[in-house]
Amino acid sequence: MADKIQKLGAKIASGHANIDEIAMFVSLLMPKAVEDVNEIFAPRQLIKRERTTEPLPIDKRQLSSYRTRLGTILEYAVSNSIDSLIRQVFGDELRLTFEVAHRYPDFLIRDRVLEPTVRIEMKAVDADSDEQSARFEVLSSLIQGEKDIVILIGWEWCQDELANGTKCEYSTIFSFVVVPAAELARERDESVRLRGGRVEADKILVPKKGRSGELKPDEGNAGKILRLVHTTRKKEPFKLSQYIQQYLQFTDAVTARKK
């Protein structure tokens, strides 16, 4: 595996890696990154007392806010671990950086002269969430097909007990998948069309409820992470790409964890 990571990273550093090689490179780094988050970062820095003593927010607005915050923290932790792994192998030849502006994508893998060679969007999905904070809304027109990937991570609360008997809990990642961004956008856009909507370069239009033939700008529902593939497409999985089949395995893992 180390040899494969080395070879793929070298191609990325030279700017000659295709999207399949980029997805494979990140996929090979993810198990160790997730392990680091679950075994080191989360039990140390995301830990809190058990819920009856230190309850979580229950108000809908606060609930959405804390899930967004925790998702952002987990994305940071995963990205930091990935960069640490990259640095160990490639030194300054490659590095994973944050996108400092508030725009797509979240992260960039840069080469030795800081040219972005890979663009990464990361989305954290809470197993107990009703999806209000987990959406993939970037327009297809903004995606660079040979550079852009999406990392989806599923997380949940883990109950534990310290050596001194203190009951506690912290967030852990139970599943992940790496998918080219263009693949997810293609399925999302096809789902919009199958539901009678239309996709344009600068917007997604969906049918108005109760108004046959009328369209309105999408309010985020088209991009819900667990619903990007239309139900009719799921019935014929052999017609779906390998990446979308892996994405559906991820969504199944998240759904199975819901309480």
> Residues 171-225: pLDDT tens digits?
999 999 999 999 999 999 999 999 999 999 999 999 988 777 789 999 888 999 9
- 80, pLDDT greater than 80: yes
- 133, pLDDT greater than 90: no
Q: What rounded mean pLDDT belongs to the chain?
A: 93
Q: What is the pLDDT of residues 23-64, one digit of tens each?
A: 999 999 999 999 999 999 999 999 999 999 999 887 777 777
Q: How confident is the model at residue 132 (pLDDT cuts 50, 70, 90)?
A: low
Q: Identify the sign of the CA torsion 191, 71, 145, 29.
A: negative
- What's the pLDDT score for residue 66? 83
User: What span, in angstroms and rounded, lies between the C-alpha atoms of 238 and 165?
Assistant: 51
- 96, pLDDT greater than 60: yes
Residue 224 is classified by DSSP as B
The total number of structural domains in the chain stands at 1
Q: Measured between alpha carbons, how far is residue 132 from residues 95, 128, 163, 191, 206 in Å?
A: 32, 11, 36, 19, 18
Alpha-carbon Rg for the chain, nearest whole angstrom, is 19
Closest alpha carbon to 64 in 19, 1, 110, 130: 130
User: What span, in angstroms and rounded, lies between the C-alpha atoms of 169 and 67?
Assistant: 15
Range of the domain at 238: 2-257
pTM of the model as a whole: 0.94
- What's the pLDDT score for residue 176? 98
